[in-house]
Structure 1
Amino acid sequence: MTGETTYLTDLAEVLWPCGGLLDRGSGEEPGTPGSRGAPVRVYLPVPSAHDPRVIIPAANRYAAVRGISAFAQGHSLREKLRTGLLTTAFASGVAPLLLRDRLRVGSGQGIEHALSGALDRELVIVIHVGPPRANRKPVLLLLTPKGRIVGYAKVGVNALTSRLVAAETVALRRLLDSVLPDVTVPRLLHAGEWNDRPLLVQEALPVGDQTDRPTRRQLLRCVVQVAALEPIAERLVSASPYRRTLVERITALGQRPEADALRATLERLPDVRVPFGAWHGDLTRWNVASTSRRAFVWDWERLTFDVPVGFDALHYELNESVQAGVHQGVHRWLDSGARLLRDPMLAATGLKSRAVPTVMALYLIDLATRYLHDRQAEAGAKLAAVDDWLLPALAGLEERAAHEAATARP
């Protein structure tokens, strides 16, 4: 078995305590008795068990088509054509003949039963698993048997993902009473446990053909409104609770060699005044959609308060910049990220131009500390090789920050 097929069978044990069996598309069909006379539920890993991204119920075309569309990644022509071919194959009933791998789940109470009970309606699930990362966890699309989307569910599969699911539950409860004039947040529909792991269900946001990736102005409007979830406060970096917490997080890395470099850079950064507010923590093209009037934002598992304003803009821009390659993208981000932070919309929060390289450096230190704690590099995340690109970029920002501080002195 490969790492991915092992992941699928491990995931099956979480979602269905009876477990699941992978095979190559022969034998029992959906809904027919298994070897012990119990009904067998059949799921199709798409595109394969060796590269699973979505797990589709073989017996429900409606759910399959909606699931493929809902979890389609990106907006390129190639990706749209791929999504169109898959939805056509499932709608016509041809897909089960073309996709050879099967995940067969035996009888017994599974995650579908628990979710149906929690929401008091019959549900079918489609599972998105995404690429290998330390925080990889199943996201379940909940549908009626006729294919109408009801919501999304998340369940923890290890210590890190369980912590993130629990944190998002807290965040969604916190956001319920928050004022975000132009940002829509999903409502929490259910919170509980499944198989001794945290489980949350949230509503599906009304995104689709009428939404797209945000423009620069739409992005910054969203960033500023999220930052203002609590009153924005301007203070010296040295006097901020944020810096003290960041030092504690770096110290908790122990003897990792990168920790010394991060700590040393943090100590050398100029002590500038910076506005502090909230940040979403993972604002990327996969977690936000926009119209001219509103932003729809989900995946709030890393919501944090009292951090330098602008982190969300930098995070979004970094993830956009590296789509075609990490090193070239980071080089571009060093300029494009600085331009974003100097935009009048962020300047209105109190972010001064001379503080921009310091805020960018703080963001990279924060991101590196997160990656190291989560062991993202070991899981194969492409941005997680901290010593490969992040530390060199940080050294350049440190020089910029020192220069800006020196030229800004009276």
Structure 2
Amino acid sequence: MTRALRLASHRAPHRAPEPGPGPVPAGLPAPLAGVLGDLRLDPATATWSRRPGGGDAWLVLPSAARPRLLVPAGPGGARLTAQRLARGPRARVKRAAATAVVRRGAALPLPRLRVADPGLAELRRWLAPAGADPERCVLGVLLGPPRANRKPVLVLLDGTGQPLCYAKAGVGALSTGLVRAETRALASVAAMGLRSLRAPRVLRTGRWRGLELLVTSPLAGRGSLRHPADLPVRATRELMAHGVRRDRPLGASAILAPDRIAAPPVPGLPALAGLRERLLAVAGDRRLPLGAAHGDWTPWNLARSGDLVEAWDWERFETDVPQGLDAVHFAASAVDHDAPARAEERLLRELPGQLAACGVDPALTRTLLCTYLLHICGRYVRDLALEPTASVERRTRWAARLLTDQVGLLEHEESP
């Protein structure tokens, strides 16, 4: 049995009875069948049709063999496509072309994926916020590249194509844990009373056909600037100022706990445990201010709306994190891991000033950079142990090499 069919036939112990899936139809590639299985929709009910219109019909982008977006044809799907592909100038041409195809798709005889599983209508009703008519709504599905922590994101659109809510779906043990972590995080963030930063509101949580779902309000409406290139200093400072503690050394921070890097080693990479020991030997007794951190503070998780910064993807939120790690993560996200030399040079040159702007002593730059790189290497290695992915492996190798260099420089600075 293929992985896609195993996923499609998954049954959680407490799921309501439902028809078992049949064979995957001809012409439905295994990756797409796997996506439907992840959503607890029966791939055997899927068909292809070039007939325009008709409610739950998806265009699959960029292809059925490599699904990243399941979008309804028309304006709503076009907006989702533009937002999802809006990452960097090199994507501009592809984004414009894909958006135009989706916008005109309602009237074009393009191949559409139709799923007759009655669960699709049930899912719309489950997601619909109070006051929304689920029969007039359509559903889009956003997918990242295959990774161990990949979670389908469901977008419920009203009749005009405006998003009513977003829902993250936990489809396995790791992604379910992350969805639950984000649910807890959003409750904590809502209690902070942030003034320059807005997080999504939790609309509903629970399980549907065994999926762990977190339903949140939409952010980044019309007029918002998505994916800001510059670090949002005010919002970064406000977040890290919550729950500040100065009574614990770096070595006691949970972010450097041994279990964070306890994963099978990646061939060709230095041992993270050894690098941790070297870092703690030179900086473990330093008392760095600790505070709250988003944990994935990157341009593609942010938008600007006037003076307000909107942020989503809070699943990595933590407290008692060395202040400044969000700023380091934002800067490191600009590094092209296929050709990192120039961006890395810029990172090392500009990071002290960015930390200073956030109220962090720039003399701590190298210590914070090493802490971040060790932390992110541990995260990536755990992901690779579950799902080997070329892009994650490239990022891991870059981070491990830079970590090795920076720990050596830190040791040299601290040597008598």
When the two structures are superposed, what TM-score results if normalisation uses the length of structure 2? 0.81
Q: 1:266 to 1:185 in 2, by over 3 A?
A: same
Instruction: Count how many residue pairs are aligned between Structure 1 and Structure 2.
Output: 384
Q: 1:387 to 1:290 in 2, by over 3 A?
A: closer
Q: What are the equivalent positions in structure 2 for 1:7-406 lying under 5 Å apart? A: 7-19=31-43, 25=49, 31=54, 41-58=56-73, 61-76=74-89, 79-93=91-105, 96-97=108-109, 99-100=110-111, 102-110=112-120, 111-116=123-128, 121-122=133-134, 123-214=137-228, 216=230, 218-233=231-246, 235-238=248-251, 240-242=252-254, 246-250=257-261, 252-253=262-263, 261-269=271-279, 270-271=282-283, 272-291=286-305, 293-322=307-336, 325-326=339-340, 328-341=342-355, 343-347=356-360, 351=361, 353=363, 355-375=364-384, 378-380=387-389, 382-385=391-394, 388-406=397-415
Tell me, in whole angstroms, the C-alpha distance in 1 between the residues paired with 2:145 and 2:133. 31
Shift of 1:45: 0.3
Q: 1:189 to 1:139 in 2, by over 3 A?
A: same
Give the counterpart letter for 2:140 in structure 1. Answer: V
Tell me, in whole angstroms, the C-alpha distance in 1 between the residues paired with 2:29 and 2:250. 47
4+ runs deviating over 6 angstroms: 1-4, 255-260
Q: Is the 8 A contact 1:187 1:203 kept in 2?
A: yes
Tell me, in whole angstroms, the C-alpha distance in 1 between the residues paired with 2:183 and 2:242. 17
Q: Is the 8 A contact 2:220 2:226 kept in 1?
A: no
Alignment match, 2:12:
none
Shift of 1:393: 1.0
Shift of 1:56: 1.6
Give the counterpart letter for 1:389 in structure 2. Answer: W
Q: 1:259 to 1:369 in 2, by over 3 A?
A: farther
Q: 1:386 to 1:70 in 2, by over 3 A?
A: closer
Query: What value does the CA root-mean-square deviation take over the aligned residues?
Result: 3.2
Tell me, in whole angstroms, the C-alpha distance in 2 between the residues paired with 1:221 and 1:376. 37
Q: Deviations over 1:69-91 (max 9, x none)?
A: 34332252x53444444443333
Q: 1:308 to 1:258 in 2, by over 3 A?
A: farther
Q: Is the 8 A contact 1:289 1:296 kept in 2?
A: yes
Q: Percent identity?
A: 29
Tell me, in whole angstroms, the C-alpha distance in 1 between the residues paired with 2:63 and 2:264. 39
Q: Which stretch of structure 1 is more off in the superposition, 266-275 or 16-25?
A: 16-25
Q: Is the 8 A contact 2:337 2:398 kept in 1?
A: no
Q: Is the 8 A contact 1:224 1:345 kept in 2?
A: yes
Tell me, in whole angstroms, the C-alpha distance in 2 between the residues paired with 1:81 and 1:365. 36
Q: Deviations over 1:132-175 (max 9, x none)?
A: 22222211121112322212111112221111111111111111
Q: Which stretch of structure 1 is more off in the superposition, 125-134 or 295-304?
A: 125-134
Q: Is the 8 A contact 1:327 1:389 kept in 2?
A: no
Give the counterpart letter for 2:239 in structure 1. Answer: V
Tell me, in whole angstroms, the C-alpha distance in 1 between the residues paired with 2:396 and 2:303. 32
Q: 1:326 to 1:161 in 2, by over 3 A?
A: farther
Q: 1:83 to 1:392 in 2, by over 3 A?
A: closer
SS at match of 1:53: strand
Q: 1:117 to 1:359 in 2, by over 3 A?
A: closer
Q: Is the 8 A contact 1:192 1:198 kept in 2?
A: yes
Q: Is the 8 A contact 1:20 1:103 kept in 2?
A: no
Shift of 1:5: 3.5
Alignment match, 1:34:
none
Tell me, in whole angstroms, the C-alpha distance in 1 between the residues paired with 2:396 and 2:93. 37
Tell me, in whole angstroms, the C-alpha distance in 1 between the residues paired with 2:247 and 2:357. 17
